[in-house]
């Protein structure tokens, strides 16, 4: 994979969180990766290249120049990748969207929010620690186990979806739709649409 250097001025940064490697493919914690990969396919982005401690590509979503990033630092150090890309792109935080799994939402529900806490999500903790909290988040509901034991929760997010392939693909597609709305309408209007869908 070739080392990436931005060639154009991108107006937006969309980050999909996950862990690298085949062990983690298809797990709940990697749903952010899946959303970014679908956006890239939908909009004809070039093949991802290495850069900013991640996989990245630049292209256009609905006529809006955008930069797609999948940190490959492992989840708990995602901020290092995001901060490096943000420095290179010179974007304000309101032009950043982070797509991530959220265990406090039932499977299939989405929430588009501005800033806030990490909700115990280590990827968000890492990002906020390095760039601040004032970026948009697209929370993708993956449900939670019955137990609140940290070890059981960790095993849960690192396990694969029990739902059907069709249902998971539908969730990823709906999340990609929500990211497109964020680009098209801005956070407030997109959130009114996404959060009011009753998913």
Q: Please list the active-site residues.
A: 29
DSSP secondary structure of 6-40: --S--SEEEEE----SGGGTTBGGGHHHHHHHHHH
CB 133 within 8 A of CB 117: yes
Residue pair 175/46 in contact by the 8 Å Cβ criterion: no
C-alpha span between 160 and 26 (Å, rounded):
6
What's the Cα-to-Cα distance from 120 to each of 124, 152, 196, rounded to whole Å? 8, 14, 24
- Rounded Cα gap, residues 121 and 100, in angstroms: 9
């Amino acid at each position: 994979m070739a080392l990436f250097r931005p060639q154009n001025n991108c107006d937006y940064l969309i980050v999909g969180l996950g862990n690298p490697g085949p062990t983690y493919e298809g797990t709940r914690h990697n749903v952010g990766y899946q959303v970014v990969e679908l956006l890239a396919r939908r909009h004809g982005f070039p093949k991802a290249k290495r850069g900013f401690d991640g996989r990245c590509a630049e292209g256009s979503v609905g006529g809006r120049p955008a930069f797609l990033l999948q940190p490959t630092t492992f989840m708990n150090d995602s901020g290092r990748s995001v901060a490096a890309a943000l420095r290179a792109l010179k974007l304000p935080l309101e032009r950043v969207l982070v797509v991530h799994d959220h265990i406090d939402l039932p499977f299939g529900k989405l929430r588009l929010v501005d800033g806030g806490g990490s909700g115990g999500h280590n990827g968000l903790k890492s990002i906020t620690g390095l760039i601040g909290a004032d970026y948009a988040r697209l929370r993708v509901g993956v449900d939670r186990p019955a137990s609140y034991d940290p070890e059981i929760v960790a095993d849960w997010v690192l396990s694969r979806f029990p739902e059907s392939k069709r249902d998971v693909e539908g969730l990823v597609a709906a999340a990609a739709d929500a990211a497109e709305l964020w680009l098209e309408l801005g956070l407030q209007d997109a959130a009114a649409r996404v959060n009011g869908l009753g998913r």
